Structure 1
Amino acid sequence: MDALAGLLDGPRARGALLLRMVMEPPWAVRIEDRAPLCLMCVTHGEAWIGHDGGRPVRLRPGDIAVARGPEPYTVSGAPGTPPQALIGHGGTCHTLHGEPLEETMRLGVRTWGNAADGRHTLLVGTYAMEGEVGRRLLDALPPLVHLAADAFTCPVVPLLEDEIGRDEPGQSVFLDRVLDLLLIAVLRAWFSRPEAAAPAWYRAMGDPVVGPALRLLQNDPARPWTVASLASRVGVSRAGLARRFTELVGEPPMTYLTGWRLALAADLLRGTDATVESIARQVGYSGSFALSAAFKRVRGVGPQEYRTGGVGPQGHRAGGGPQGHRTGGVGS
């Protein structure tokens, strides 16, 4: 598993909210859905996107932006345009005064906007990304990633544009996978740029000592690792590995391993029906009691409460996040 695979090995679209947004200026949309991640690509015209208090970024045809939530942001045809629509939790749409807009702005299958022949068109994909492995990805990203068309070329964009308005059997699953491919391509391009502030463990993957150690931990978390056994596998002394690992990653090897195991466990709790006992053994704990104790110590709640919607990391509900293609939402 390489560094980028480590970031992407949990978040996968599952019924993502996908739509084509067609707008005629002047227009502005306020986004307050608290979704963790939203990807936007301008195909015609232009758009401006910015979080509150930040400088808006201009998107031209072919440009792609990734907005990290849950903080609200605004997308518009020009800076300073007052929002005419507000997107709330789950993709609901209404005016700033609360009047519903779902019907008036629905233009067809996964097509939404204020004019069917509007001059500005964006492809929008919104992730729920509830897995805690996804939290590592979110923590690695700035509030807004912007890739200009001349710095990023991906054949997936025309495919998404062609398929997003179709209503074929299995279309939502097909679109989920296309969105995943596009996100991977965007992030791969972004992390290759010098201005991308990748997390310490991501950068450490290139180190000849720490990189192999990280890959061993990530690929085989269930093994009963010790610093000594890890050092033996990578061919250095125990003290040398501990010192270099802590220096480059920012935490000792076993602390990193605990975080990785619990991140994997959190993702399995959300994304599978496996028992806590089974998950515990998959990620390297002796049983459900040991996992529960570690999970509660670090997360503040036990595995079962986390799975069923208890308060998770940073005070967010475990079951929160919008679901795509909902009836009545902007992606319907």
Structure 2
Amino acid sequence: MKIDPLAEVVTLLQPRARFSKLIECGGSWRFRRKGTGDPFYCAVLEGQCRVTVDGQPPLILRAGDFLLVPAMRDLIKESLDLPQGETPEEPIEIGEGRFRVGREDEPPNLCIQIGHCSFGSPDVALLVPLLPRLVLARGEPRLATLTQLVGEETRAHRPARELVLERLLEVLLIEALRCGCETENAPPGLARGLADDRVAAALRVLHARPERPWTVAGLASEASLSRSAFFARFSRTVGMPPMEYLLAWRMALAGRLLRGQELSLDQVAERVGYSSSSSFSVAFARYAGLSPARYGRMYLNGQTGEPAQPPSTI
């Protein structure tokens, strides 16, 4: 069976919808939202605006654009003609799932569908670093359609609603990551790595056999590149060096195995490429911020706290 690393990561993340709404804006306006590191996405249906995400350089979004932020902490949206010093406004609800920002006596200059979701996986801190910090796709109408479907399903209370939402969000995230990696200035990340045939070959064998004693030279051979060319190409497209990515994926798999409580520590270590439980325990504790035994107990006891954010992020 052919391994699909992107599908593996998105499925493990377990995306869940929190809410979705349609926002109309008129006149000069600005609104700001603080996040807690959960995913945020939006599709611009009409008009244009300026967006600043987590203090990064602002982006101009226009009709047909789709923005995905896998871990949003601060978001500012504003009209392009906004005067200096304008105070952020709170969206006012004008109907079910519909909100208004700015002057009500002026026609809307922006219509945008936004959504907030969460990742249900307890290993979110181990998996999110494999995604780009921000994805921008332009001119992909199917993303707007998927966004609207998520919004409609969020407001409905039909049978199997949660299952439908989970599947829609999985498709939405995969489609956004695939479309976002096709742009000229695509950010580094797993999807961009998979768009490169040589790097993709290495990623697939790495995901298929994480227990193998991989080296940069061995992965370079799978990619049919020299060691130095492979290292540079992988780091540029994926956003982290090959062995750092391998560590991140091994730790994410280890988290799932530890939660299952079905394997011994020695067996988990072997499954993710470590010759002994002691060497695995040291690596896991350094990366996840707590020992494998404590990690397993935490989820066995139903605790909801997340492991510490790993040191390496894209």
TM over 0.5: yes
Cα deviations across residues 77-130 of structure 1 (Å, max 9, x unaligned)? 5645522339xxxxxxxxxxxxxxxxx84843xx25358x99454322224332
Runs of 4+ deviating beyond 6 Å: none
Unaligned stretches of 5+ in structure 2?
A: 299-304
Matched residues in 2 for 1:282 and 1:132: separation?
A: 17
Residue 21 (structure 1) aligns with:
22
Matched residue pairs, number? 283
Unaligned stretches of 5+ in structure 1?
A: 87-103, 316-332
Greater displacement, 179-188 / 48-57: 48-57
Judged with a 3 Å threshold, the aligned counterparts in structure 2 of structure 1 residues 228 and 53 are, in CA distance, closer, same or farther, namely closer
| Structure 1 residue 262, shift from structure 2 partner | 1.4
Residue 297 (structure 1) aligns with:
286
Q: How does 1:152-301 map to 2 (within 5 A)?
A: 152-154=140-142, 155-199=145-189, 202-203=192-193, 206=196, 208=198, 211-222=200-211, 224-227=212-215, 230=218, 234=222, 242-250=227-235, 256-266=245-255, 277=265, 279-285=268-274, 288-301=277-290
Residue 74 (structure 2) aligns with:
72
Residue 113 (structure 1) aligns with:
99
Q: Give the percent of matched residue pairs that are identical in Structure 1 and Structure 2.
A: 24
Matched residues in 1 for 2:251 and 2:173: separation?
A: 25
Judged with a 3 Å threshold, the aligned counterparts in structure 2 of structure 1 residues 297 and 85 are, in CA distance, closer, same or farther, namely same
SS at match of 1:248: helix
Residue 45 (structure 2) aligns with:
43
- 1:136 and 2:136 correspond: no
SS at match of 1:169: coil
> Partner letter of residue 99 of structure 2?
G
Larger RCO (CA under 8 A, 6+ residues apart): 1
Residue 312 (structure 1) aligns with:
308
Residues 125 and 179, structure 1, Cα contact 8 Å, conserved in 2: no
Q: TM-score, normalised by structure 1?
A: 0.65
> Partner letter of residue 153 of structure 1?
P
Greater displacement, 294-303 / 194-203: 194-203
Q: TM-score, normalised by structure 2?
A: 0.68
Give the CA RMSD over aligned residues.
Answer: 4.2
> Partner letter of residue 198 of structure 1?
P
